[in-house]
Amino acid sequence: MTDLAPAPGGVPLAASLADFAALARDVLPPEVYDFVAGGSGTETALAGNRAALDRITVLPRMLRGVHRPRTDASLLGRPHALPVAVAPMAYQRLVHPDGEPALAAAAHAAGVPYVVSTLSSTTVEEIAAAGGPTWFQLYWLRDRAMVRELVDRAHRAGCTALMVTVDVPILGPRLRDVRNGFALPPEVSAANLPGSRDDLAHAGVPGTSAVARHTSAVFAPALTWSDIDWLRGQTDLPLVVKGILDPRDAVLAADAGADAVVVSNHGGRQLDAAPAAVTMLPEVLTAVGDRCEVLVDSGIRGGVDVLRALALGASGVLVGRPLLWALAVAGRAGADAALALLAAELRDALTLAGCADPAEARDLRTITGG
């Protein structure tokens, strides 16, 4: 057990956003903890994300009269309280019964966009009903009519951006899930995809991942850039392409009309030999110039990491696991506490770097390995 004492309000005391991982480990069933924490294969890419972030140093500026910096920033042309969005993450009711609506409500209260996963365990309509900035993440289904229908549903529900994830032709081999024979419990399912081989995700078979079997039955493999062209033609919503690492793909995304790309290795959950996302960020930025916004995720664990991403030139970041850990620990209150910590950490980092706001942080110098 962790020796951090509970704080008032039922949220265990966390001194940093990163602290929620240890707290969550204490409350989650081991196989659920593993499903969230795990990467693919030997988890080299997972570890590489952290190692790469830790190697990026930022040169702080002095005597610039910064007292209480602003943290607000524009993402996809709209103002938000932080240069941060909640990453799309499947099946959030696995970690807490209040699931997606609780994390979305916390995001909205904190003034940051919440990205609904195609594989959310609450429908996009219910999540978006909370009213804050909500983006929809699309996994491409085998049935194109269902893709169309999902895009329409997201639009009707009030989502303000569409994020298509392109790094999942198949699910990366999540060996923790294979070893655990991981399957969804009966009360958690893909709420946006009723009847879509739901049985597969719930059928535990030792030595296999039921989630992987479900995904491979439902997701379309072998997509091409012409599919993204088709998608661009289906919606006027801002389009974000998530899962880019090669700068050439970033250019193709811009050519296809993407408004933003997310440089990501899916939190180390797809190709285990992939580089850290932040390692590729500078080349992607150079390749796309000002043709589209560039966000980054994979391994962001606190305000200092947001500063690193900004200093490298990103417009903002997606944060994944730390927010699920916080949801696991104390539901909505945990998510509120985590986002408040992240905002405070970013404010501290900006102050220490001598930046009055996130835009100024993008002018800071970085040294890799310095």
Ligand X SMILES: Cc1cc2nc3c(=O)[nH]c(=O)nc-3n(C[C@H](O)[C@H](O)[C@H](O)COP(=O)(O)O)c2cc1C
- Shortest gap between Cβ of 103 and ligand X (angstroms)? 12
Cβ proximity to ligand X, 90 vs 364, nearer residue: 90
Residue 65 burial by Cβ neighbours in a 10 Å radius (0-12, 13-18, 19+): exposed
189 counts as binding ligand X under rule CB under 6 A:
no
- Cβ atoms of 140 and 227 within 8 Å: the answer is yes
Interactions with ligand X, residue window 251-290 (CB under 6 A): 264, 266-267, 269
Alpha-carbon distance 160 to 163, whole Å?
10
**Region from 122-130, 204-212, 213-221, 297-305 binding ligand X, contact rule CB under 6 A:** 297-305
- Shortest gap between Cβ of 101 and ligand X (angstroms)? 16
**Radius of gyration of the CA atoms of the chain, in A:** 19
Contact string 45-84 vs ligand X (x = CB under 6 A): ----------------------------------------
211 counts as binding ligand X under rule CB under 6 A:
no
Where b means 16+ CB within 10 Å and e means fewer, 267-279 reads bbbbbbebebbbb
25 counts as binding ligand X under rule CB under 6 A:
no
- Shortest gap between Cβ of 292 and ligand X (angstroms)? 18
- Shortest gap between Cβ of 121 and ligand X (angstroms)? 11
96 labelled catalytic? no
Alpha-carbon distance 258 to 229, whole Å?
9
Nearest to 324, CA basis, from 240, 267, 278? 267
- The pair of structure tokens assigned to 276 is 């850290």
Alpha-carbon distance 218 to 213, whole Å?
9
165 counts as binding ligand X under rule CB under 6 A:
yes
Helices in 111-158 by DSSP H: which ranges? 124-128, 144-157
Long-range contacts of 60-63 (CB under 8 A, 24+ apart): 60/352, 60/353, 60/354, 60/364, 61/353, 61/354, 61/355, 61/364, 62/354, 63/354
Cβ proximity to ligand X, 132 vs 268, nearer residue: 268
305 counts as binding ligand X under rule CB under 6 A:
no
Q: Which of 137, 196, 279, 315 binds ligand X (CB under 6 A)?
A: 137
Q: Which of 89, 105, 110, 193 binds ligand X (CB under 6 A)?
A: 89
299 counts as binding ligand X under rule CB under 6 A:
yes
Residues labelled catalytic? 266
Q: Which residues bind ligand X (CB under 6 A)?
A: 36, 87-90, 117, 119, 137, 165, 242, 264, 266-267, 269, 297-300, 318-321
